[in-house]
Amino acid sequence: MCPVCNLGAIVVGHRAWGCARWKDGCRTVIPFAVGAKKVTDAQLRDLVLRGQTRAASFEVDGRPQRARLRLDRSAAPPTVRVEVAVEARGAARGRAASPPSHPR
The confidence band for 86, taking pLDDT boundaries of 50, 70 and 90, is: low
Checking if the pLDDT of 90 tops 90, the result is no
Residue boundaries of the structural domains of the chain: 32-92
Task: Return the number of other C-beta atoms located less than 10 Å from residue 84's C-beta.
Answer: 16
**Tens of pLDDT along 63-76?**
888 888 998 888 88
pLDDT for res 88: 43
Q: In what order do the strands lie in the sheet with 79-84?
A: 56-60, 63-72, 79-84
pLDDT digits (tens, 9 = 90+) for 2-55: 888 888 999 999 889 999 998 898 888 899 988 778 899 999 999 999 999 998
Q: Are 2 and 19 in contact (CB under 8 A)?
A: yes
